[in-house]
């Protein structure tokens, strides 16, 4: 039963869809994860480019340098000259974001060819040629000497993160490379994880290094490795990689270590990397040791000096003294360009410069692992809150609340990102709100459509289309259990049913009654009534429920008047067809009644209960004793619009089974329909007689009733009153006599 399932509401649906949203969060589908990454990029770009300190600069192997000095790779003697220039300028530390994995001899022929083509061949002699070849052939040694003389160089190396990849392309380390690698590890390592069940860390399975002659002269080495996401964008950079039993830092941290001469330490717990520290500076990472890069802008945000300008002396101590210098390739064909939140074509040196700047400025974006608890709290909190709101607000206001919630969360999220340096999940809380709202909306569409069809099927036979539509819009009016409210109930009984039924065959009687009930029901529905019962020849109807109205008494009485008028018209039609005439008597009462489903779980039966209902039934029956057609209670009269119906006070009676008396009234028409003057005089005389009766002027009352009977000799009400007042003596009546007549029969 649809209306019985109180537990099935928008809140329970919200809980269901929140749980589904949480399950999706745990599964972390690629599409939503990608959206989350893009939300991070969006916030980075909305924040815009930011100024840098100028402590980190890049000496770039750019297009200008390639045009001036020749295509890459350059002779090691030229690179040595570049390094000498930077060292002489007084830079603090120099990091090569470039690998030199092979000896320089392979470019000897190209260099010789270029020299011959640019020199007058006649100037070459054996001695000068041999001298020049010796210089070129010794370029690696020259470069190595420059590295050693500088005393501030950090070399880079590449890493391979899978065994299969390492087997295919990784180079085998010689003794010198291994030695430099060994003293390039984290100087202080604390581990509390179980060696048998070590913390989850990223591993190195192979290396790609510069030749040992160069590496051996460097102060230290650091790897260059970025963690590109599924969209190819670099947002994370590993700060800790494990090779064998040892832990290693990247190039950027090694350069900082050389610049500030502070120890590097890392703490590993059973859950992963707890912290990475450079002296007192903390470098926040996630549990696997990845650092979230806090970008300052697109490529060229940091100062780039063209390598050829350094070689020519255009750039010197004024620009490089005391600076942390990264030497890297930035030319379009250098194959060291990456995608960042600001877009593509960002050199790897620029990313390393960004990390160095982040650490120096203590300018981090934090995304610790405990943020997962915040994500879960936001998912459940936003979903349940939306469900609770939907219980008290309509669909439109719930949508407004949703929009306010989503926009408010996005604003708060952006504030937390820009002002507090925290990346909180954007997509999942917003997704949950939209997902839950969509789920509730779809449920309402399906459920309410089903409920609407149920209501239309269950009530269309005895409610007007307007009321059925209203119930479909507000099904809560039909919630099981019922409620007590003021309404109007009427009982309409067919007059002469017994004689009619005896004079007709069952098929004829059935057809005749069906036509009668159809006509009477149509009028009840027209007056917004609800047919609650057909019992033999009786129709029971209520007004003011299930849809509450203030004018239920008016509709109940108007329906009775129209039924009487329509029956007069039908009797003319039936008479022409040889069918017996029918009459109708109606009793109406208005008061508190209990309305609800009085049926069962299998069959709906909406009706009313209460003493007020019984009063209406007694009034219908009392019509026989007064010869009237429509009898209403005083409660109903007081609720009628003034000047609409013609009524008279019939009597004050105490019906059988009741202990209190009620005033009963006869409704004999509408004020806008003319009545025969003689008939109006009759009603006036009856009213005068009844007032005299209540005033104990019985002789005057008797005279009025007698005059009334002259006009309507067969009037039952006047006859009853005439019989009652005849012989009454006011002197013999008790002092509390109020004219009440006790009825001994129904």
Q: Is 98:208 a contact under the CB 8 Å cutoff?
A: no
Higher-scoring residue by pLDDT: 3, 323: 323
- How far is the C-alpha of 463 from the C-alpha of 456, rounded, in Å? 9
Confidence class for position 441, pLDDT limits 50, 70, 90: confident
pLDDT at 261 exceeding the cut of 60: yes
- pTM: predicted TM-score of the whole model, two decimal places: 0.65
The total number of residues shown for the chain amounts to 746
Convert the pLDDT of each residue in 484-515 to its tens digit: 889 999 999 988 777 777 778 888 888 888 89
Convert the pLDDT of each residue in 453-479 to its tens digit: 776 666 666 566 666 676 666 666 555
701 exposed, middle or buried (CB, 10 Å; 0-12, 13-18, 19+)?
Answer: buried
What lies within 8 Å, CB to CB, of 363 at 6+ separation is 294, 357, 421
Q: Is 664:651 a contact under the CB 8 Å cutoff?
A: yes
What pLDDT sits at residue 110?
A: 54
Confidence class for position 3, pLDDT limits 50, 70, 90: very low
Distances in Å between the Cα of 486 and the Cα atoms of 319, 502, 547 are 92, 40, 12
Q: Is 45 helix (H, G, I), strand (E, B) or coil?
A: helix
pLDDT at 4 exceeding the cut of 50: no
CA angle, 699 as apex, 696 and 701 as ends, to 5°? Answer: 70
Q: How far is CA 404 from the centre of its chain?
A: 11
Among the listed residues 571, 565, 612, the one whose alpha carbon sits nearest the alpha carbon of residue 593: 612
Backbone angles phi, psi at 58, to 5 degrees: -120, 125
- How far is the C-alpha of 205 from the C-alpha of 165, rounded, in Å? 8
Distances in Å between the Cα of 198 and the Cα atoms of 104, 181, 268 are 42, 23, 9
Convert the pLDDT of each residue in 635-678 to its tens digit: 999 999 999 999 999 999 986 666 788 899 999 999 999 888 99
- Torsion, Cα 208 209 211 217, to 10 degrees, reads -170
Confidence class for position 334, pLDDT limits 50, 70, 90: low
Q: Is 351:298 a contact under the CB 8 Å cutoff?
A: no
What pLDDT sits at residue 310?
A: 96
> Taking all residues of the chain, what is their mean pLDDT, rounded to a whole number?
86
What pLDDT sits at residue 43?
A: 94
What lies within 8 Å, CB to CB, of 555 at 6+ separation is 488, 527, 528, 529, 543, 549
- Torsion, Cα 637 638 642 647, to 10 degrees, reads 20
**What is the helix (H) or strand (E) element at residue 381, kind and residue range?**
helix 371-392
pLDDT at 172 exceeding the cut of 50: yes
549 exposed, middle or buried (CB, 10 Å; 0-12, 13-18, 19+)?
Answer: middle
What pLDDT sits at residue 148?
A: 94
What interhelical angle do 427-459 and 395-420 show, nearest 10?
Answer: 170
CATH class of segment(s) 460-673: alpha beta
CA angle, 696 as apex, 693 and 701 as ends, to 5°? Answer: 40
pLDDT at 2 exceeding the cut of 80: no
**What is the helix (H) or strand (E) element at residue 193, kind and residue range?**
none
- Where would I find the beta strands (DSSP E) of 598-644? 606-609, 630-633
Q: Is 652:660 a contact under the CB 8 Å cutoff?
A: no
What pLDDT sits at residue 87?
A: 96
Q: Is 9 helix (H, G, I), strand (E, B) or coil?
A: coil
Hey, where are the domains in the chain?
2-47+368-453, 56-360, 460-673
What lies within 8 Å, CB to CB, of 675 at 6+ separation is 646, 668, 669
Q: How large is the average pLDDT for residues 522-526? A: 91
Backbone angles phi, psi at 611, to 5 degrees: -65, -30
Convert the pLDDT of each residue in 61-111 to its tens digit: 999 999 999 888 898 999 999 999 999 999 999 999 999 988 886 455 555
Q: How large is the average pLDDT for residues 235-264? A: 93
Convert the pLDDT of each residue in 577-590 to its tens digit: 888 888 999 999 99
Q: How large is the average pLDDT for residues 323-341? A: 87
């Amino acid at each position: 039963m649809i209306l019985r399932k109180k537990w099935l509401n928008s809140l329970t649906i919200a809980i269901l869809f929140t749980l589904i949203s949480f399950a999706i969060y745990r599964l972390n589908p690629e599409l939503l994860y990608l959206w989350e990454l893009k939300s991070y990029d969006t916030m980075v770009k909305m924040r815009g480019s930011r100024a840098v300190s100028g402590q980190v600069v890049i000496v770039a192997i750019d297009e200008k340098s390639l045009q001036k000095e020749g295509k890459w790779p350059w002779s090691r003697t030229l690179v040595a000259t570049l390094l000498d220039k930077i060292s002489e300028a007084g830079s603090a530390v120099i990091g090569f974001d470039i690998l030199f994995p092979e000896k320089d001899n392979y470019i000897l022929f190209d260099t010789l060819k270029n020299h011959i083509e640019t020199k007058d061949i006649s100037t070459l002699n054996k001695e000068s040629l041999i001298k020049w070849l010796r210089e070129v052939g010794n370029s690696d040694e020259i470069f190595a000497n420059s590295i050693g003389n500088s005393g501030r160089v950090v070399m880079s190396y590449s890493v391979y993160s899978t065994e299969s990849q390492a087997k295919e392309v990784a180079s085998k380390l010689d003794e010198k490379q291994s030695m430099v690698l060994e003293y390039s590890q984290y100087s202080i390592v604390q581990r509390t994880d179980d060696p048998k069940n070590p913390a989850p860390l990223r591993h190195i399975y192979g290396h790609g290094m510069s030749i040992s002659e160069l590496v051996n002269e460097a102060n230290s080495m650091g790897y260059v490795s970025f963690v590109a996401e599924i969209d190819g964008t670099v947002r994370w950079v590993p700060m800790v990689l494990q090779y064998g039993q040892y832990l290693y830092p990247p190039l950027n941290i090694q350069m900082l270590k050389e610049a500030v001469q502070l120890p590097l330490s890392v703490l590993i717990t059973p859950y992963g990397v707890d912290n990475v520290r450079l002296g007192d500076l903390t470098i926040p990472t996630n549990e696997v040791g990845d650092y979230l890069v806090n970008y300052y802008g697109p490529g060229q945000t940091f100062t780039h000096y063209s390598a050829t300008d350094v070689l020519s002396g255009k750039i010197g101590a004024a620009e490089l003294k005391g600076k942390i210098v990264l030497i890297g390739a930035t030319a379009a064909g250098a194959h060291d360009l990456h995608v960042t939140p600001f877009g593509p074509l960002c050199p790897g040196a620029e990313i390393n410069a960004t990390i160095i700047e982040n650490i120096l400025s203590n300018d981090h974006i934090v995304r610790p692992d405990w943020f997962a608890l915040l994500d879960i709290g936001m998912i459940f909190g936003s979903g349940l809150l939306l469900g609770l709101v939907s219980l008290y607000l309509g669909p439109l206001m719930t949508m407004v609340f949703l929009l306010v919630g989503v926009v408010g969360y996005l604003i708060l999220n952006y504030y937390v990102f820009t002002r507090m340096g925290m990346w909180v999940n954007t997509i999942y809380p917003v997704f949950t709100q939209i997902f839950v709202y969509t789920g509730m909306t779809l449920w309402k569409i399906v459920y309410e459509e089903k409920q609407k069809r149920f209501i239309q099927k269950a009530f269309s036979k005895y409610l007007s289309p307007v009321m059925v539509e209203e119930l479909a819009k507000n099904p809560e009016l039909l919630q099981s259990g019922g409620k007590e409210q003021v309404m109007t109930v009427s009982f309409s009984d067919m007059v002469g049913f017994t004689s009619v039924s005896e004079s007709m065959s069952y098929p004829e009687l059935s057809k005749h009654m069906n036509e009668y009930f159809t006509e009477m029901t149509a009028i009840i529905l027209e007056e917004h009534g609800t047919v609650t019962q057909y019992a033999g020849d009786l129709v029971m109807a209520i007004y003011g429920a299930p849809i509450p109205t203030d004018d239920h008494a008016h509709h109940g009485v108007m329906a009775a008047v129209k039924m009487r008028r329509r029956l007069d018209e039908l009797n003319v039609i039936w008479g022409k067809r040889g069918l017996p005439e029918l009459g109708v008597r109606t009793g109406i009462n208005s008061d508190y009644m209990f309305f609800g489903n009085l049926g069962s779980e299998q069959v709906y039966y909406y009706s009313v209960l209460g003493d007020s209902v019984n009063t209406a039934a007694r009034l219908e029956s009392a019509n026989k004793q007064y010869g009237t057609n429509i009898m209403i209670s005083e409660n109903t009269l007081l609720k009628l619009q003034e000047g609409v119906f013609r009524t008279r006070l019939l009597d004050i009676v105490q019906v059988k089974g009741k202990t209190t008396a009620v005033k009963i009234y006869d409704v004999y028409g509408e004020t806008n329909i003319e009545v025969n003057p003689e008939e109006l005089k009759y009603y006036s005389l009856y009213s005068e007689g009844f007032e005299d009766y209540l005033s104990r002027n019985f002789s005057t009352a008797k005279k009025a009733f007698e005059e009334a009977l002259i006009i309507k000799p067969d009037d039952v009400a006047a006859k009853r009153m005439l019989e009652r007042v005849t012989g009454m003596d006011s002197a013999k009546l008790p002092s509390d006599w109020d004219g009440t007549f006790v009825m001994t029969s129904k």
